[in-house]
């Protein structure tokens, strides 16, 4: 309410005739995150190169704001505005920063007015001015004419915590890239950088008291024998913290404990429960070797590490990890068991809670608070801890009900290491599927909370785990545009959010991002199915839903380029053809290339079989096979009949392959699409044609194949490999494209 009244006052104080109130943005105002209030107007202001910049007396940090503004305008437009503060209020061709002395204004609130007289940014603090600058920079056209649309904006964020996380342990990134990451966050008014600095696969922060942490812990030997790693010196860290603070971004360091600590144990093995030596991990996962909770030396070590950490990071919060700590070594360790007995702890979860609470108590004496992943709820929450809810929102809800602050980062909406589109062509990711729209539709405050409890939700954060991001280019690709969607989730009023409107505004941002040399995901054309078998001819429709962009394609197997044919209507394919198609955005950004195979075949002839039994025959073949070519069919361990396409439950071996054979009964003439979703290799053949060959390792890969079938019985053969112990094998397949037909004993025979 306060905002609207103030806004009306603000507006009424200005020349009103050219302004029209509207809830929509016009073509030229495409700010992300969408401001709380915008009034657009017809017309625009033309700033000249010698624009005067004026600050009212009390604006703190004016030199930094001035320098940032001029540098950014120069980078975007090439125009060099003199980095000079004007002594007296200019009449026109001006940018004015005016401090508001009003307790009703929030620290991050700002107003931006562009009218015939110039630009006016008002705020109470540096943060507000900085966000006013960010909105202004999104209004500046990317050419040498500083023509800025008339507009009035009054704006403040919905949540105080607007975070981005980056894992620099699985892969290491340069100081320059960390600055670029911070710049990207700043563009979209994100204010907290969660820097994940220690892991099993690398310790990345110099600690002077424990030099081996970086001499040994920062380096791993990869499977091919090469050495990989790196770390940030304390000077580099100070430089980054300062760089971030000049962009009003707080850096929260994460020092993982008690788990994910193999790199530290490689340097100081005496901190583990088990005697022995450790090597910095070169695989991804969760490891049993963790800090010993029974040894006093563990706490001494961690406290000394944190003493240096808090000298480097002024942040009120220190993130202490707390996630994914297996209890196996504590269960066997006499010292850990002794600690449990002495402290009256009933199980290892309570021992973890003891561990975290000791670290909290220590940090509180230094006037710092802890944040931990939601596992810190288990065994009892430390009294003043803030919880980062990552395994869904339940942990966050539980913590808020216990009156603890919460940051929402559920895997479902906030994990930017997930796929953002069809994993058939997207670069290998850790798994999952978190589309731009899904991020956009995230609601950080769960409906389970009442008004009082909801106050504990400080905001949300995206997590960028880098197992499958080995270059900065790939990090950007996974981040953009999803960061823009999240920025709007945490900044804009809930009622201002509108997916189609966001998508429209986003179209203007690709050019801006490209100007900043930031790589971005552009959606490749979708064409239904990647492998198609047809008789006479087939149609292939293509579409791109996320961006307004051209679809280009080739039919001769070559990669598309800017001269390739532009798609206008469904392609009619009459012969065996490879379609290659790609999205070209006017920003210059391109999508990945999609390859679609269209194979012309003779109609399949239905087999006539007299005696039929229900189900398919299967054979289990012993061995560990990493792909389908390796399967040898010699050593059959077991055979029988299945009524579902699933591994039988009673197999004790961990690794094996399965061959399934029989007939598929088709009752209705149609074009059928077969789906396969699996972790390990799978091949599906119908009537002797390989419809799907899914050899995706490491990722949950979906494959589809399409074939036309008349009524009748068709031979089917499926080979499935099991080579990952944890794999939840989901091999569902065969459905009519439009109405799913489950495959079961009614249509499988042998
Ligand atoms: C996490 O993703 N392990 C917090
Ligand atoms: Zn122990």
pLDDT digits 0-9 by tens, 511-538: 999 999 999 999 999 987 888 998 889 9
Helix (H) or strand (E) holding 440: helix 436-440
Concatenated DSSP letters of 450-500: -HHHHTTEEEEEEB---TT--SHHHHHHHHTTHHHHHHHHHHS-GGG--HH
| Nearest one of 258, 277, 259 to 268, comparing CA atoms | 277
Q: Percent of the chain scored above 70 by pLDDT?
A: 93
Q: Sorting pLDDT into bands at 50, 70 and 90, what band is 25?
A: very low
3-state secondary structure 616-652: EEEEEEECCCCCHHHCCCCCEEEEEEECCCCCCCCCC
Residue 706 tokens, joined: 């399409």
d(CA 711, CA 415): 45
218 CA to middle of ligand 2, Å?
24
Lowest mean pLDDT among 392-396, 621-625, 713-717, 736-740: 736-740
pLDDT at 9: 40
374 secondary structure, DSSP code: G
Q: Is 432 in the pocket of ligand 1 (CB under 6 A)?
A: no
User: What's the longest Cα–Cα distance across the chain?
Assistant: 99
By the CB criterion, residues less than 5 angstroms from ion ligand 2 are 273, 292, 294, 333, 335-336
Q: Percent of the chain scored above 90 by pLDDT?
A: 74
Ligand in nearest proximity to the CA of 373: 1
pLDDT at 337 over 50: yes
378 CA to middle of ligand 1, Å?
15
Q: Are residues 665 and 749 in contact, defined by beta-carbon separation less than 8 angstroms?
A: yes
Q: Can you list the alpha helix ranges (DSSP code H) found in 334-402?
A: 334-343, 348-365, 394-401
Provide the pairing of β-strand 538-540 with 701-709. unpaired
Total number of residues shown for the chain: 750
pLDDT at 741: 59
- Per the prediction, the chain carries an average pLDDT of 91
pLDDT (tens digit per residue) in 426-472: 998 988 899 999 999 999 999 999 999 999 999 999 999 999 999 99
d(CA 183, CA 177): 10
CA distances from 458 to 159, 192, 244, 420, 451 (A): 6, 12, 20, 26, 13
321 CA to middle of ligand 2, Å?
19
pLDDT at 16: 36
Residue 659, beta-bridge partner list: 619, 719
- Identify the residue whose C-alpha is closest to ligand 1 atom 2: 390
Q: Is 416 in the pocket of ligand 1 (CB under 6 A)?
A: no
More confident residue, 508 or 633: 508
710 secondary structure, DSSP code: -
411 CA to middle of ligand 2, Å?
31
3-state secondary structure of 206: coil
d(CA 95, CA 133): 10
The tokens 């806004």 sit on which residue?
Answer: 7
748 CA to middle of ligand 2, Å?
55
pLDDT (tens digit per residue) in 70-118: 999 999 999 999 999 998 888 999 999 999 999 999 999 999 999 999 9
pLDDT at 4 over 70: no
CB proximity list for 277: less than 8 A, separation 6 or greater: 266, 269
Ligand in nearest proximity to the CA of 466: 1
Helix (H) or strand (E) holding 296: helix 296-312
Ligand in nearest proximity to the CA of 355: 2
| Nearest one of 703, 701, 690, 742 to 724, comparing CA atoms | 701
CB proximity list for 650: less than 8 A, separation 6 or greater: none
pLDDT at 6: 42
pLDDT at 23 over 60: no
Q: Is 733 in the pocket of ligand 1 (CB under 6 A)?
A: no
Q: Is 614 in the pocket of ligand 1 (CB under 6 A)?
A: no
220 CA to middle of ligand 2, Å?
25
Note whether 4-155 and 170-378+423-471+481-491 share their fold: no
Q: Is 373 in the pocket of ligand 1 (CB under 6 A)?
A: yes
CB proximity list for 300: less than 8 A, separation 6 or greater: none
d(CA 649, CA 593): 40
What would the mean pLDDT of 218-237 be, rounded to a whole number?
98
Q: Is 324 in the pocket of ligand 1 (CB under 6 A)?
A: yes
Q: Which atom of ligand 1 is nearest to the CA of 260?
A: 3
12 secondary structure, DSSP code: H
Ligand in nearest proximity to the CA of 328: 2
The tokens 């292939």 sit on which residue?
Answer: 540
Pocket test for ligand 1, best of 324, 392, 431 (most atoms within 8 A of CB): 324
Domain residue spans of the chain: 4-155, 170-378+423-471+481-491, 531-600, 616-749
Concatenated DSSP letters of 52-112: EEEE-TT-TTHHHHHHHHHHHHHHHH-------B-SS--SSSEEEEEE---TTS-TT-EEE
d(CA 204, CA 240): 14
Q: Which CATH architecture best describes the domain 616-749?
A: Alpha-Beta Complex (3.90)
Q: Which atom of ligand 1 is nearest to the CA of 390?
A: 4
Q: Is 239 in the pocket of ligand 1 (CB under 6 A)?
A: no
* Interhelix angle 62-77/499-515, nearest 10 degrees: 90
Ligand in nearest proximity to the CA of 273: 2
Pocket test for ligand 1, best of 199, 201, 373, 408 (most atoms within 8 A of CB): 373
3-state secondary structure of 419: strand
The tokens 């990090």 sit on which residue?
Answer: 475
Q: Is 392 in the pocket of ligand 1 (CB under 6 A)?
A: no
Q: Are residues 500 and 673 in contact, defined by beta-carbon separation less than 8 angstroms?
A: no
| Nearest one of 476, 376, 486, 503 to 440, comparing CA atoms | 486
Q: Does domain 170-378+423-471+481-491 have CATH number 3.40.630.30?
A: no
pLDDT (tens digit per residue) in 572-616: 999 999 999 999 999 999 999 999 999 998 888 777 777 788 889
Helix (H) or strand (E) holding 714: strand 712-722
Residue 703, beta-bridge partner list: 676
Q: Sorting pLDDT into bands at 50, 70 and 90, what band is 667?
A: confident
Q: Sorting pLDDT into bands at 50, 70 and 90, what band is 682?
A: confident
φ and ψ at residue 410, rounded to 5 degrees:
-65, 140
Q: For 150, how many CA atoms within 13 A lie in the half-sphere containing its CB?
A: 17
Residue 118, beta-bridge partner list: 94, 115
* Interhelix angle 348-365/296-312, nearest 10 degrees: 40
290 CA to middle of ligand 2, Å?
8
pLDDT at 22 over 70: no
Q: Which atom of ligand 1 is nearest to the CA of 388?
A: 4
* Interhelix angle 482-491/472-479, nearest 10 degrees: 50
579 CA to middle of ligand 1, Å?
40
Q: Is 415 in the pocket of ligand 1 (CB under 6 A)?
A: no
3-state secondary structure of 422: coil
pLDDT at 187: 98
Q: Which atom of ligand 1 is nearest to the CA of 415?
A: 2
Q: How far apart are the first and last CA of the chain?
A: 71
d(CA 527, CA 324): 40
Q: Are residues 690 and 684 in contact, defined by beta-carbon separation less than 8 angstroms?
A: yes
Ligand in nearest proximity to the CA of 194: 1
Pocket test for ligand 1, best of 465, 466, 467, 468 (most atoms within 8 A of CB): 465
User: Mind telling me the catalytic residues?
Assistant: 324
d(CA 638, CA 622): 9
Q: Sorting pLDDT into bands at 50, 70 and 90, what band is 275?
A: confident
Helices (H) and strands (E) in the chain, counts: 18, 36
331 CA to middle of ligand 2, Å?
8
d(CA 473, CA 104): 42
Q: Is 323 in the pocket of ligand 1 (CB under 6 A)?
A: yes
Residue 409 tokens, joined: 């980062």
Residue 389, beta-bridge partner list: 408
Pocket test for ligand 1, best of 167, 257, 390, 462 (most atoms within 8 A of CB): 390
Q: Is 521 in the pocket of ligand 1 (CB under 6 A)?
A: no
CB proximity list for 726: less than 8 A, separation 6 or greater: none
Q: Which of 3.30.70.2190, 3.40.50.1370, 3.30.379.10, 3.90.45.10 is the CATH number of 4-155?
A: 3.30.379.10
124 CA to middle of ligand 1, Å?
37
- Identify the residue whose C-alpha is closest to ligand 1 atom 3: 323
Q: Can you list the alpha helix ranges (DSSP code H) found in 188-295?
A: 212-215, 234-245, 262-267
| Nearest one of 741, 708, 665 to 529, comparing CA atoms | 708
């Amino acid at each position: 309410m306060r905002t609207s009244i103030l806004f009306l006052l603000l507006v009424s104080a200005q020349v009103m005739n050219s302004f029209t109130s509207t809830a929509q943005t016009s073509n030229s105002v495409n700010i992300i995150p969408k401001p709380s209030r915008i009034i657009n107007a017809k017309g625009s202001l033309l700033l000249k190169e010698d624009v005067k910049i004026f600050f009212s007396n009390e604006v703190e940090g004016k030199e930094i704001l001035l320098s940032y503004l001029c540098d950014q305008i120069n980078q975007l437009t090439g125009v060099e505005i003199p980095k000079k503060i004007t002594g007296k209020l200019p009449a026109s061709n001006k940018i004015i920063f005016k401090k508001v002395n009003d307790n009703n204004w929030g620290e991050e609130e700002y107003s931006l007015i562009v009218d015939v007289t110039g630009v006016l940014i008002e705020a109470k603090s540096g943060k507000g001015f900085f966000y006013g600058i960010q909105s202004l920079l999104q209004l500046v056209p990317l050419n040498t004419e500083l023509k800025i649309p008339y507009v009035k904006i009054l704006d403040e964020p919905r949540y105080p915590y607007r975070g981005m996380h980056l894992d620099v342990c699985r892969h290491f990134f340069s100081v320059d890239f960390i600055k670029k990451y911070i710049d990207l966050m700043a563009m979209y008014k994100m204010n907290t950088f969660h820097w994940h600095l220690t892991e099993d696969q690398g310790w990345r922060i110099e600690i002077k008291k424990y030099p081996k942490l970086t001499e040994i812990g920062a380096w791993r030997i990869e499977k091919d024998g090469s050495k990989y790693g790196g770390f940030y010196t304390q000077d580099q860290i100070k430089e980054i913290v300062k760089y971030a603070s000049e962009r009003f971004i707080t850096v929260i360091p994460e020092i993982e404990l008690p788990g994910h600590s193999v790199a530290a144990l490689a340097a100081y093995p005496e901190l583990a429960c088990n005697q022995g030596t450790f090597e910095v991990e070169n695989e991804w996962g969760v490891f049993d070797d963790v800090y010993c909770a029974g040894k006093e030396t563990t706490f001494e070590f961690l406290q000394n590490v944190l003493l240096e950490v808090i000298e480097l990071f002024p942040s009120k919060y220190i993130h202490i990890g707390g996630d994914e700590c297996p209890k196996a070594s504590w269960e066997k360790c006499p010292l850990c068991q002794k600690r449990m007995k002495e402290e009256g702890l009933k199980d290892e979860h309570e021992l973890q809670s003891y561990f975290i609470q000791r670290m909290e108590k220590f940090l509180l004496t230094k006037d710092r608070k802890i944040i931990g992943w939601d596992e810190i709820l288990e065994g009892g929450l430390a009294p003043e801890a803030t919880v980062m809810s990552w395994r869904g929102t339940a942990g966050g809800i539980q913590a808020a009900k216990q009156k603890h602050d919460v940051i929402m980062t559920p895997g479902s909406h906030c994990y930017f290491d997930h796929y953002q589109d069809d994993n058939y062509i997207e670069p290998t990711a850790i798994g999952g599927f978190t589309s731009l729209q899904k991020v956009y539709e995230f609601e950080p405050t769960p409906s389970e909370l009442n008004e009082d409890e909801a106050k504990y939700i400080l905001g949300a954060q995206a997590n960028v785990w880098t197992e499958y991001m080995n270059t900065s280019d790939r990090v950007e690709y996974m981040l953009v545009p999803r960061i823009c969607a999240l920025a709007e989730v945490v900044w804009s009023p809930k009622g201002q959010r509108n997916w189609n409107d966001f998508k429209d505004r986003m179209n203007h941002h690709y050019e801006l991002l490209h100007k900043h040399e930031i790589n971005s995901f552009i959606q490749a054309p979708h064409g239904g199915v990647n492998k198609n078998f047809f008789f006479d001819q087939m149609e292939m429709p293509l579409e791109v839903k996320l961006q307004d962009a051209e679809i280009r394609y080739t039919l001769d197997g070559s990669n598309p380029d800017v001269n390739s044919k532009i798609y206008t209507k469904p392609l009619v394919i009459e012969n065996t053809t490879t379609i290659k198609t790609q999205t070209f955005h006017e920003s210059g950004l391109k999508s990945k290339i999609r390859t679609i195979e269209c194979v012309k075949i003779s109609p399949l002839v239905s087999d006539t079989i007299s005696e039929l039994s229900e189900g398919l025959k299967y054979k289990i073949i012993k061995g560990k096979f990493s792909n389908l070519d390796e399967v040898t069919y010699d050593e059959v361990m077991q055979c029988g009949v299945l009524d579902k396409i699933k591994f039988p439950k009673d197999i004790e071996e961990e690794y094996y392959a399965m061959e399934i054979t029989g007939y598929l009964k088709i009752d209705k003439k149609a074009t059928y699409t077969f789906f396969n979703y699996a972790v390990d290799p799978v091949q599906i053949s119908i009537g002797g044609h390989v419809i799907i060959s899914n050899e995706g390792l490491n990722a949950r890969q979906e494959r589809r194949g399409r074939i036309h079938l008349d009524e009748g019985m068709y031979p089917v053969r499926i080979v499935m490999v099991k080579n990952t112990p944890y794999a939840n094998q989901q091999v569902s397949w065969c459905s009519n494209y439009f109405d799913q037909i489950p495959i079961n004993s009614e249509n499988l025979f042998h």
